[in-house]
Structure 1
Amino acid sequence: MASIKTQFEIPAKMKTWSYGLMAVGIVAFLIGLFTKGMSADVYDRQVFWGTIMYNAIFFLLITNVAMFFICALTIGMGGWQTALRRVPEAISATVPVFGTIAGVLLIGIVISNLHIYQWTDMEKVKEDMISSRIHGFLNPWFFSLWTIATIGLWIMLGARMRKLSAEADVENMGLEKGQSFIWRNTVTASMFIAWFGLTAGCVTPWFWQMSLNIHWGSTMYSWYTFASSFVGGLALITLFFIYLKNKGYLELANQEHLHDLGKFLFAFSIFWTYIWFAQYMLIWYANIPEETIYFKHRVQGEYKGVFFLNLVINFVCPILILMSRPAKRNYTLVTFMAVLLLFGHWLDFYQMIMGSISPIKITLGWLDFGILAFFVGILIFCVGRALTKRPLVPKYHPFLKESIIHHT
């Protein structure tokens, strides 16, 4: 173990890129704040804060998915991921940062007078039968409390999993200690999965995203959000895995592990497409006006190009490029697809959220890409720092041998 590189050192280029992207993002934020955020036009203010909101939600969800990935494999006794486990752990360590940004922003939006969420306008709530009926559930206080609880427990349970993982760096584990280690990991992972299912897989997307359209609802919306963020999170894990391999780290992980990551990317891209089709097809077939309002401007209006480009990137490209075994084992091809899918699902979150905030006018432009640069810069900076805090290989983990000899 001493002959391999286990301690990550942040390269100068990585620092430069993270600082540069954050600088671009700060400049874009300031220009946007003075031109739109502080504008007398309510619509401009809604677009500005909405742009930051969908980026914050997207990055929070895809980084939290990294911990979901670890917990799901922990419960399933998936020992193959042990050699690369510290990659999703480092990504999940950014959840407190993105969670704080998203939480403060979302709570600030609902208690302000921006009315991005229609149900925060009490005068309209009193006049609208649907809004008034659900106001006991959908109101600023409950929204804020649920947001705090959601993000708070994601952070706490994720930190608990990373703390347990650190025990695999301390000393060799005998049978009894190893069994205790696996059991405690499984219990904590189960708690995270349960809370993740209740929040990211159920209630939280209703609050944060679907409630932007107070008169529209879909029982598949949370599954759709989960599928989109899960593919984005898998792409992120894959990119950092390949980056570390290119820098000479993670020698115990190999093409077999890349193949598994490629299979996950391919499989859950198809799963996302299944949810996309099921939600769209049911609404299209029924053709009920109060259901089709969500898709009307996305399929036939200003968002038509973005809507179908989203489908091409996130379904057509994976099924054409990632289906074969050699493609999943090709570092260059998998890198290309991971970047493409990250962009594709960022675009998906754009049309989900901004398509509701600004349904009659597409807003994709310099501000969106500037704020994107800011969040990418934070991500690179935080993941780089997290990777330096622990050895890249948990050398005393009971499943490490299984991961080393892993073959697909």
Structure 2
Amino acid sequence: MASNREQFEVSGNMKTWSIGLMGVGILAFIIGFITKGLSSDEHQQAIFWGTLLYNSIFFLLICNASMFFICVTTLAHGGWQVTFRRVPEAISAVVPIFGLIAIFILFFIVFGLNHGDHNLIYHWRIPGNDQIILKKTGFLNPPFFVIWTLLSIGLWSYLGMRMRKLSQESDETSMNPEQGNRWIVRNTVIAALFTVWFGLTVGSTTPWLWLMSIDTHWYSTMYSWYTFASSFVTGMALIALFVIYLKNKGYLEYTNDEHLHDIGKFMFAFSIFWTYLWFSQYMLIWYSNQPEETTYFQPRTKEGVWKGVYYLNLVINFLCPLLILMTKNSKRNYTVMAFMAVLIIFGHWMDFNQMVMASISRDHVTLGWLDFGIAALYVGMLIFFVGKALAKVPLIPKNHPFLKESIIHHT
């Protein structure tokens, strides 16, 4: 019989917050759909569906980043994360749910927002006589978009499910060294498949299709890496938040300051990596000063209306992690880590907002009640479904071959 510390129970407070946030989000969705989604103004329709688009992609990618974290540490035969492994597993369990929502939104935009001779968001959908778009139709076309989207989300969900099931096998019985080795090999194989597929999608084609193709004339070879860095650092911040929450509730007894310190290292390091990509992408395009390149940055810099949001991202996502998470003590302080996790999640959500909405609405900033309302809906669903996933299995994989290594972990 599992002890209270090994088996998570969803508290009434957690249920209340998740349902309350979902209620606020549903209300915002309904009002937004009536006032914007059903509006005769095409621009208002584009704002409504664009808001749904970037929120669905952002929350899907940061949840998927949790499984990527599990898989890369599995491939490295790292054992330090085993004591809190069930946290990223529970977060990744939300991927199929958020994936289905994203599929609906993406497909509706591609097939349902065609107005005459143009699509409200994806201009490549009806290229007309645009020679630049016509040269990209081998990649930007509805059949490829549909197939690649289904394959991306389908394999993320399936391989993630396989990894979680393998993890749960360690709860059923203890393993001798030979059984443990075979189990580790099976984990390594699935983790390798997920990592390769993650690289082919999040690290390459999927951000081009879902996000960069909104600016159909523009392209950047660094865009997918930029999106990956943003997703992964936010995913690590999300893991940190749930670990801190569970520790404060008396769970995860084998997870200590050493583990939190290493999670903080990821948050710090990938904030720097994101900034490197932010600067490199901007600097190379600024240096070349080519019209087809600089068009992306015109509404976001200089006299563009989005410049405040654009540079605020740099302050939140670079300066704050750099100055606050640099020291050892800050990465071991629960309050500081929780604050920085929330700040990083908010900062990169803002970044996804400007990545999409500054391309849809180049003349004015759209950030407002609808954005925060839809975000509240996703946060509420995230809390609700992660809580359910945590309660289904023991929080500590007690028969995992690397559990002892994780317990005695020291940085």
TM range (shorter): over 0.9
1:405 matches 2:408? yes
Q: Assess if the C-alpha contact under 8 Å between 1:302 and 1:360 holds in 2.
A: yes
1:75 matches 2:75? yes
The answer for the alignment partner of 1:34 in structure 2 is 34
* Larger displacement relative to structure 2 (126-135 or 242-251): 126-135
Mapped to 1, the partners of 2:4 and 2:32 lie a distance apart of: 47
Shift of 1:136: 2.7
The answer for the alignment partner of 1:182 in structure 2 is 184
1:380 matches 2:348? no
Shift of 1:360: 1.3
What is the aligned-residue RMSD (CA, Å)?
A: 1.0
Aligned-partner residue type, residue 221 of structure 2? T
> Out of 385, 391, 395, which is 2:394 matched to?
391
Mapped to 2, the partners of 1:232 and 1:379 lie a distance apart of: 14
Aligned-partner residue type, residue 83 of structure 1? T
Cα offsets for 1:126-185 (capped at 9, x unmatched) = 311111122132111210111011000000000000000001101110011000010000
1:311 matches 2:314? yes
Cα offsets for 1:69-114 (capped at 9, x unmatched) = 0000000011000000000000000001100000111011101134
Aligned-partner residue type, residue 201 of structure 2? T
> Out of 323, 326, 330, which is 2:326 matched to?
323
Mapped to 1, the partners of 2:275 and 2:137 lie a distance apart of: 33
> Out of 120, 123, 128, which is 1:118 matched to?
123
The answer for the alignment partner of 2:150 in structure 1 is 148
Percent of aligned pairs with the same amino acid: 64
Aligned-partner residue type, residue 119 of structure 1? W
Mapped to 2, the partners of 1:105 and 1:49 lie a distance apart of: 8
Q: Assess if the C-alpha contact under 8 Å between 2:52 and 2:374 holds in 1.
A: yes
Q: TM (normalized to structure 1)? A: 0.98
The answer for the alignment partner of 1:7 in structure 2 is 7
Give the SS at the match of 1:299.
coil
Change (3 A) 1:38 1:4: closer
The answer for the alignment partner of 1:285 in structure 2 is 287
Q: TM (normalized to structure 2)? A: 0.97
Aligned-partner residue type, residue 165 of structure 2? K
Give the SS at the match of 1:173.
coil
The answer for the alignment partner of 1:21 in structure 2 is 21
Mapped to 2, the partners of 1:4 and 1:378 lie a distance apart of: 25
1:343-382 matched pairs, under 5 angstroms: 343-382=346-385
Give the SS at the match of 2:396.
coil
Cα offsets for 1:39-59 (capped at 9, x unmatched) = 001110000010011000000
Mapped to 2, the partners of 1:241 and 1:87 lie a distance apart of: 7
Q: Assess if the C-alpha contact under 8 Å between 2:317 and 2:347 holds in 1.
A: yes
Mapped to 2, the partners of 1:340 and 1:140 lie a distance apart of: 37
1:170 matches 2:172? yes
Give the SS at the match of 2:394.
coil
Shift of 1:288: 1.4
The answer for the alignment partner of 2:193 in structure 1 is 191
Q: Assess if the C-alpha contact under 8 Å between 2:10 and 2:387 holds in 1.
A: yes
Mapped to 2, the partners of 1:389 and 1:67 lie a distance apart of: 18
Q: Assess if the C-alpha contact under 8 Å between 1:4 and 1:251 holds in 2.
A: no
Mapped to 1, the partners of 2:283 and 2:64 lie a distance apart of: 30
Give the SS at the match of 2:217.
coil
Q: Assess if the C-alpha contact under 8 Å between 2:46 and 2:360 holds in 1.
A: yes
The answer for the alignment partner of 2:65 in structure 1 is 65
The answer for the alignment partner of 1:255 in structure 2 is 257
Shift of 1:3: 6.0
Shift of 1:4: 6.4
Mapped to 2, the partners of 1:164 and 1:268 lie a distance apart of: 28
Mapped to 1, the partners of 2:353 and 2:217 lie a distance apart of: 20
Shift of 1:2: 6.1
Structure with greater proportional helix content: 1
Give the SS at the match of 2:404.
helix
Aligned-partner residue type, residue 209 of structure 2? F
1:231 matches 2:236? no
Mapped to 2, the partners of 1:354 and 1:93 lie a distance apart of: 28
Mapped to 2, the partners of 1:25 and 1:139 lie a distance apart of: 32
Gaps of 5+ in 2: none
Aligned-partner residue type, residue 396 of structure 1? N
Q: Assess if the C-alpha contact under 8 Å between 2:2 and 2:394 holds in 1.
A: no
Mapped to 2, the partners of 1:345 and 1:377 lie a distance apart of: 18
The answer for the alignment partner of 2:245 in structure 1 is 243
1:272 matches 2:277? no
Aligned-partner residue type, residue 124 of structure 2? W
Mapped to 2, the partners of 1:2 and 1:378 lie a distance apart of: 27
Mapped to 1, the partners of 2:12 and 2:128 lie a distance apart of: 57
Mapped to 2, the partners of 1:200 and 1:73 lie a distance apart of: 18
Aligned-partner residue type, residue 192 of structure 2? S
Give the SS at the match of 1:194.
helix
Mapped to 1, the partners of 2:266 and 2:201 lie a distance apart of: 22
Q: Assess if the C-alpha contact under 8 Å between 2:103 and 2:149 holds in 1.
A: yes
Mapped to 1, the partners of 2:113 and 2:299 lie a distance apart of: 26
The answer for the alignment partner of 1:298 in structure 2 is 300
Q: Assess if the C-alpha contact under 8 Å between 1:66 and 1:92 holds in 2.
A: yes
Q: Assess if the C-alpha contact under 8 Å between 1:256 and 1:406 holds in 2.
A: yes
Mapped to 1, the partners of 2:385 and 2:317 lie a distance apart of: 27
Give the SS at the match of 1:296.
coil
